[in-house]
Structure 1
Amino acid sequence: MGMKFAMEGTALADHAKRTDASSSDLGAMVLAFVQAAEPVAKSMNGPVKASFNSFKQNANMVADMLNTSLQGILNSTNEQGRAFQQHTEQATEAFSSGQAGANFDAAVARSV
C-alpha cells in the first residue's frame, strides 16, 4: 500500500510563524550567552582565555549567521506554503471543471 500524506492547510504558515519568532531569539541567545559567561572569563587564563576571546569576537558574526540561516528556512517555508496553496486551488478547480463536464446520466448502466 502506498504512503499517504495529509497536511492541514495552515501547517506551513504555522511553522513559518514559529520559525520567524525563533530566528531573532537564537541570535539574541548567543549574545546573551557571551554576556553571561563574561564573569567566568575573568578567571580564565592561557589558551582557554584566548579561545573564549576569539568566540566573543565572533559572537556577532555567529548570531548573524544563525539569523540569516533561519531567515532562509523561513523564506523556503513561505514559498512551500504558497506552492501548496496554489496546487490545492488548481486541483480543486480542475476537479470542479471536470465534474461540470461529466455526463453522469451516460455512465448509469441501463437495463435492456
Structure 2
Amino acid sequence: MKKIFAIIASILVASTLLLGCVGQGTDNTKKMTELRIGYQPSTHQIAEMVAMEKGWWQNDLKKYGIEKVTDYEFPSGPPEMQAMLGGQIDIAYVGATPPIPAIDQGLDAK
C-alpha cells in the first residue's frame, strides 16, 4: 500500500512540475501603454475630471506601464458603451443600465 501511494505521489509531483512548464514561452501579448477613459460631463463624474485635470491618472498609472491617459466626453451612457464595443475607449464610467445591452452584444465588461 505504501509503495502504491509513493508511486501515485511521484506521478502527481512530476505532472505538476511538467504542467508548470507549459506556456512559458515568449509573451506575445501587446502591452497597454495608453488608457482611454470615457466620461459624461456631470457632477456625478467630477472625480474623473479632477483626476484628469490634476494629472493624477498619469502619475498613478505610470508604474503600471501606462504612458498616456486620454479622456473622451460622451453625452450619455449608450454612446459611451458603443465606443467601448468599438474598441475606442478602455474604461467607461456609466450608470447601471447602459452596460446591459452592450454586454448582450458581446462586451466583456467587469
Please report the TM-score for the alignment, with normalisation by the length of structure 1: 0.33
User: Normalized per residue, which structure has more helix?
Assistant: 1
**Rg larger for:** 1
Judging by fraction of residues, say which structure has more strand.
2
Normalised TM-score (structure 2): 0.33
